[in-house]
Structure 1
Amino acid sequence: MSTTTVTAMHSSQPPIIPKDFSAKQPQTIRLYPLSNYTFGTKETQPEEDPSVLARLKRLEEHYVQHGMRRTCEGILVCHEHNHPHVLMLQIANAFFKLPGDYLLHEDDEIEGFKKRLNERLAPVGSQFSGEGVNEDWEIGDTLAQWWRPNFETFMYPFLPGHVTRPKECKKLYFIQLPKTKVLSVPKNMKLLAVPLFELYDNSVRYGPQLSAIPHLLSRYNFEFVDENDNVVAATPGTGEGQNPRTKVLAGDDGQDQGMTDYPGENAENGGQGGQ
């Protein structure tokens, strides 16, 4: 269905169609509704480091043995009320991060990344069966690279000119979710679906990396489909009469949460995005 048709469906007057404005545009991305996915929990995955200092110390040890650490994280996108939502982990009701982690030094980039995604989100045992359980990850474009120049918490979306030996490079990849998929989150974490407008310009709550995601995704046009695979909206264009909110999908207390509304921007400002 064309953008023109979708726009006309939501307007009492025919729109004025401008001259084509799609030059050098990436392929339009199809987003499936949040209700297409199944969410569950699995065994707790404790954090490797008890403190920030311990994490930086382990980074230093890795650098001495293997050189710059490679970290991969995924931007997984679906939609709710025809608005893009990013799947995100929350730890201890405060710390937000994208699915993924650092690669083992001997791992291939993409295969090692898929292994890390499975550690965080793949179902285990016979918890679930059927369609969407063993779907492979479709790793898309690299959307950003963040650099850690020193053994410090600060990372930058550029490599400072005086730095010739960065200690870590973190890459963020776009991951287009298939039509259906089963995801399980460790019990000590929450899996959230966070709308783009909640992330935008909200570095106080989510940190500079996560709050930049709406900028990274702005290069794409999206088409939104319903549970029956019908296109119901497309960008440019919006849904009507809905107020998307962050959803708690699973985790944190050992019980599945369904798709519970989460206070999001109305909650206390204690959380920070991953560094």
Structure 2
Amino acid sequence: MSTVAQGGLQSQYSPILPRHFNSQQPPTVRLYPLSNYTFGTKENQPEEDPSVLARLKRLEEHYEQHGMRRTCEGILVCHEHNHPHILMLQIANAFFKLPGDYLQAGDDEIEGFKARLNERLAPVGSQFSGEGVNDEWQIGETLAQWWRPNFETFMYPFIPAHVTRPKECKKLYFIQLPRSKVLSVPKNMKLLAVPLFELYDNTARYGPQLSAIPHLLSRYNFEFVDENGHVVATTPGGGPIDGVKLQTKVLAGGEHQGQNGIKDEDMDG
């Protein structure tokens, strides 16, 4: 027997609750709805390199002057219909990328990372005002490190045994979004909200780094909060509302696609 409740089917029988099963886990993460956030656009930010070869050449020049390149990217999480979504950029309708970039040689890791996040996503001028416009980024723990052993496209989640001087290290950090925030994306890029199930086991579309994000987040339990600040579901025990179709959403940008696009299969990172 079942009854209709909160837009879906719900059994009239209470579930059998297992014994406590949350030992040794990080604190529960609170996720706010996508509708809490405001999205806009700003001036184009063309890619620095016209090709993969040019990008690798610039990496080689950086290594000769400064040593291993340090790259920082953020996993920004919110929810839609009680399912986690990741905010990411799409460039030239082909290349998917997390917000962030490589650090300048003299940059502090966290402060430099915040500056790169602002370059990509902070609003400019007087386009927006009020809550969430200039809130500082809350950089969480490192969730993954990817290594580039040589001046080539491949990156690995480990350093191969024969490599003693990797050319680049890319760190992925968890960023818990606040209750509200204003984000602006360059017009030549798209800002997407991608559900976890779309990323999972989808290396063909998103590559190994992005498709691994569901694994990285599986250690967390989530609380899903509605627009009024009320917890409406938790992990485990709550999922997407029945009958609601979850899919990737274009939040902003994409007005001038197509210049200098490096496809994701051409360059891991």
TM over 0.5: same fold?
Answer: yes
Amino acid at match of 2:251: L
Partner residue in 2 for 1:152 = 152
Could you tell me which of 246, 263, 267 is aligned with 2:248?
A: 246
Aligned length: 253
% identical equivalent positions: 80
Partner residue in 2 for 1:209 = 209
Partner residue in 1 for 2:190 = 190
Matches within 5 A, 1:44-83: 44-83=44-83
Amino acid at match of 1:248: V
- C-alpha deviation, 1:12, in angstroms: 2.0
Conserved in 2, the CA contact under 8 Å of 1:89 and 1:96?
yes
Partner residue in 1 for 2:112 = 112
The separation in 1 between residues aligned to 2:96 and 2:145, in whole angstroms, is 18
Q: Deviations over 1:89-115 (max 9, x none)?
A: 000111000000000010000000000
Matches within 5 A, 1:91-240: 91-237=91-237, 238-240=239-241
Question: Could you list the runs of 5+ residues in structure 1 that have no partner in the other structure?
Answer: 1-5, 255-269
Conserved in 1, the CA contact under 8 Å of 2:26 and 2:220?
yes
Q: Deviations over 1:62-93 (max 9, x none)?
A: 00000000000000000001000000000011
Partner residue in 2 for 1:262 = none
Please report the TM-score for the alignment, with normalisation by the length of structure 1: 0.89
Q: Deviations over 1:170-202 (max 9, x none)?
A: 000000000000000000000000000000000
User: Structure 2 vs 1, CA of residues 243 and 271 (structure 1 numbering), >3 Å: closer, same or farther?
Assistant: farther
Q: Deviations over 1:139-167 (max 9, x none)?
A: 00100000000000000000011100000
Aligned partner of residue 166 in structure 1, secondary structure: coil
- C-alpha deviation, 1:243, in angstroms: 2.1
More off after superposition, 35-44 vs 242-251 = 242-251
User: Structure 2 vs 1, CA of residues 274 and 179 (structure 1 numbering), >3 Å: closer, same or farther?
Assistant: farther
The separation in 1 between residues aligned to 2:14 and 2:107, in whole angstroms, is 54
Please report the TM-score for the alignment, with normalisation by the length of structure 2: 0.91
Amino acid at match of 1:128: F
